[in-house]
Structure 1
Amino acid sequence: MSPRDASEARDPVSLVVGAIVAQVIGGLVTQMSPFMIDGLMAGLSLSERDAGLVATVEFLTLALAAIAIAPVLPRFSNRRVSLLAVALALLAQGASIFGASLASVALLRGLAGVGEGALYAVSLSIVASRSSNPDKVYGYFQVVWALGSVALFAVGGQLTATFALRGILSLIAGVTLALAPLLLLIPGARVQSHGAVATGATRVSPLLGITTLAAVVLYLTVSAAVYTFSAPLGERSGLNTNSVGYALTVGTLVGLAGAGAATALNVRWGRAIPISGFCVVFTLVTLALCLSHNPTVYVVALVASVVIFYFSIPYLFGLAAALDSSGRWAAAAGSAYLVGFAVGPLFGGAVIMEVGYAGLGAVCVAITAIVWGLAMVVCRQLSGTAAPRADGCL
């Protein structure tokens, strides 16, 4: 089957919906992390450091759980794993609403992270192992995040302002509970190495998988670093915090264009061309944000950064999905994503302290060039060892 045929193949609606639900539940806390930090500080009177510690505990357990479960997922029923994971997450989330101390909340959020990490890994694994076109479904993930984030940000901000920590934790638990029944749509049988990725795919070197994970971690690190400091960058351009917030809201809405483009294009042009494209655009956007003091340039660049982020993620996950038919590397890519997301703010702050915002731009551009090089190595290797349908890099 040609790449075009693969891009036009349709997946069962139940598979797509189940995978999206697992993705949303697994990644919800990272999406709502700004309100989590604010709620922890207001609800428990924690310092920025202690509030950040709680968030870090959950993010790390989330990432570690995804890493730990990724290699063994093909041995178990994804539906059973998902239901056990969501039960653990709900139990810990519900209990953490009533946590009264730093230690108790950190412990409970860490337990929630274990369940969330398992769900995040499942969401990527089942798409890689069972979907006829993983890149397209990963594009659907980004469409849902872009649409859902608008409502979640509005409600989350209001609940956090009114009820502090209990408000935002109740929202996360409520969304999890509401979506949990849809996890029953996830296939119950173990992976039998079928689907598009399995067709013509061959075993790849573990080094190639590590190369892919390194590209994901590095790209998310620089993306998170620039995103985290978007407000200070806006202030350098003469904008206030409210204006930056409006720009981010607009960027999230416009970001649908990036997610939609990735979904529509998927692997029609392979992966090498889209990956090269978003690396170039991200480089230009980063330089504009870090070097310019013009407010118009800042707003355009910020909105463009959100669009390119939603466009880029499906291709990075799709690259990992092409590595094997069981979805193990795709699941591991999810944990790499979370590690990069967690490291980004710390990395950005350290670079700014040493060499300023211009230095941050230069360092991010250099790392993006490394990301592009690593991705091209993977694409070239896959093109030489698998059928076009299996890797989509041709």
Structure 2
Amino acid sequence: MSNAPTLIRGSGSLVAGAIAAQIVGGLSAQMSPFTVAGLIDGFALSERDAGLIASAELVALAATAIAFAPVLPKYSARRVSFAALAVTLVAQSLSVVTTSLAHLVVLRVVAGVGEGALYAVSLAVVASHCANPDKVYGYFQLVWALGSVALFSGGGELTSAYAHRGVFALMVAVSAMLTPLLCRVPGDRTRSGPTEVDAGSRNASIAGVMTMLGIALYLTASAAIYAFSAPLGERAGIGTRAVGYALTAATIAGLAGAGGATALNIRRGRALPISGFMICFVLTVIALCCSRNPTLYVIALIASAVIYYFSLPYVFGLAAALDRSGRWAAAAGSAFLIGFAVGPLFAGIVISAAGYVAFAAVCVVISVVAWVLLLGASRLAAEPC
């Protein structure tokens, strides 16, 4: 029997469904800079309070993904997807029309529950049905990069015009448009396949925990920078609308990162690419937080997008390699979401208490710890270094 990395029959349809689940599940995280900016404008909130509300949704998202990770193989991925979509669409729609801040917080948490289930499904389906998850996760990032060109342009305009209502309405529209593609999510339960390490071995368990911690820490720093990219832009003399267009340009450039990861794949292992993107990320953090030069801000923002889209296929691929039933991949998605949930809150607290330079210093320390953990997990998983 050939060992060539191929996908199962009907893989194109499966990947389309997984990508739809990924986008609907991850949309609130992707649009978090506009959510934060919209809440600040729409409810006259402080940076800390806006970050707290954004984090509440992402915490619910992460907690749901964590809860679903160990039990997903027992259920039909398609049924879970449609149930989660219904919850998400109702909560997102009501978020547009409510005038109560308290009600809005509750609705964002409910939306996070549906989004978390969809996000976990998207990762677990690929890990359990595809022989080369790294490459498919690379396709995820290519689609995110292409789609975000329109999302960021529209998000900047709608948030500038309608504050939080504008960005929430955009999320409703995108989720509704992608609904038909969820029919392509497999109706069967996820299955197990060959792994790079014995899924039940001590090394696999340790590598899995290290991978989750590394992803959570890396995304905490990355999401903190990303969620406050609009305030960072204003600090550099760039308004919210202009930040939207800067993010659009960054996303177009991010295609190079996603394409590079897809082309390079794991021919040189994962340790070298992981080291490369972590070093570059630290440099962009310093540039974004420690300079008020608008040109340097735009350059660093573009670089951060390239790094982000390049990095995710490798960290998710590492998790998928540990257990092809999809449990570690879904758990890695949970860790990703935990980082996105904690990031805005962490950023708001540190910036309010100590300023942007101290915020950069803390992000650098967190990133170095994440780098060490991911390298250790790569070696335990017997990846070539």
Query: Given the alignment, which residue of 199, 202, 205 partners 1:202?
Result: 199
* Maintained 8 Å contact 1:201/1:325: no
Q: Mind listing any 5+ residue stretches in structure 2 that lack a counterpart?
A: none
C-alpha displacement of 1:63: 1.0
- Spell out, residue by residue over 1:136-158, the C-alpha distance to the aligned partner (whole angstroms, 9 max, x if none): 11111111111111211222333
Matching residue of 1:240:
238
Q: In 1, Cα distance between the equivalents of 2:327 and 2:152?
A: 32
Matching residue of 1:76:
75
Question: What RMSD, in angstroms, separates the aligned Cα atoms of the two structures?
Answer: 2.8
Q: Secondary structure, in 3 states, of the residue corresponding to 2:70? A: helix
Alignment of 1:148 onto 2:147: yes
Distance 1:215 1:2, change over 3 A: farther
Query: Structure 1 segments of 4 or more deviating over 6 A?
Result: none
Q: In 2, Cα distance between the equivalents of 1:352 and 1:92?
A: 30
Distance 1:52 1:360, change over 3 A: closer
Q: In 1, Cα distance between the equivalents of 2:160 and 2:364?
A: 37
Matching residue of 1:24:
23
* Maintained 8 Å contact 1:62/1:115: yes
Matching residue of 1:316:
315
Structure-to-structure mapping, 1:151-300, within 5 angstroms: 151-194=150-193, 197-198=194-195, 201-205=198-202, 206-230=205-229, 239-241=237-239, 245-291=244-290, 296-300=295-299
Structure-to-structure mapping, 1:117-128, within 5 angstroms: 117-128=116-127
C-alpha displacement of 1:344: 2.0
1:98 maps to a residue whose letter is: V
* Maintained 8 Å contact 1:60/1:339: yes
Q: In 2, Cα distance between the equivalents of 1:263 and 1:18?
A: 19
* Maintained 8 Å contact 1:382/1:393: no
Q: Mind listing any 5+ residue stretches in structure 1 that lack a counterpart?
A: 384-391
**Greater mean alpha carbon deviation, residues 329-338 or residues 246-255:** 246-255
Matching residue of 1:106:
105
Q: In 2, Cα distance between the equivalents of 1:171 and 1:246?
A: 16
Matching residue of 1:375:
374
C-alpha displacement of 1:360: 3.6
Percent sequence identity over aligned pairs: 57
Distance 1:155 1:64, change over 3 A: same
* Maintained 8 Å contact 2:152/2:244: no
- Spell out, residue by residue over 1:222-267, the C-alpha distance to the aligned partner (whole angstroms, 9 max, x if none): 222333444565566x643366554433212101100111111111
**Greater mean alpha carbon deviation, residues 349-358 or residues 254-263:** 349-358
Matched positions, count: 379
**Greater mean alpha carbon deviation, residues 160-169 or residues 11-20:** 160-169
C-alpha displacement of 1:35: 3.1
Distance 1:370 1:51, change over 3 A: closer
Distance 1:253 1:346, change over 3 A: same
Q: In 2, Cα distance between the equivalents of 1:40 and 1:364?
A: 24
Distance 1:191 1:229, change over 3 A: closer
Matching residue of 2:55:
56
**Greater mean alpha carbon deviation, residues 213-222 or residues 336-345:** 336-345
Tell me the TM-score normalized by structure 1.
0.86
Matching residue of 1:386:
none
Distance 1:319 1:166, change over 3 A: same
- Spell out, residue by residue over 1:342-386, the C-alpha distance to the aligned partner (whole angstroms, 9 max, x if none): 222333344445665444444333322221211121111111xxx
Distance 1:138 1:285, change over 3 A: same
Matching residue of 2:91:
92
Q: In 1, Cα distance between the equivalents of 2:230 and 2:38?
A: 19
**Greater mean alpha carbon deviation, residues 125-134 or residues 225-234:** 225-234
Q: In 2, Cα distance between the equivalents of 1:302 and 1:121?
A: 28
* Maintained 8 Å contact 1:215/1:374: yes
* Maintained 8 Å contact 2:59/2:342: no
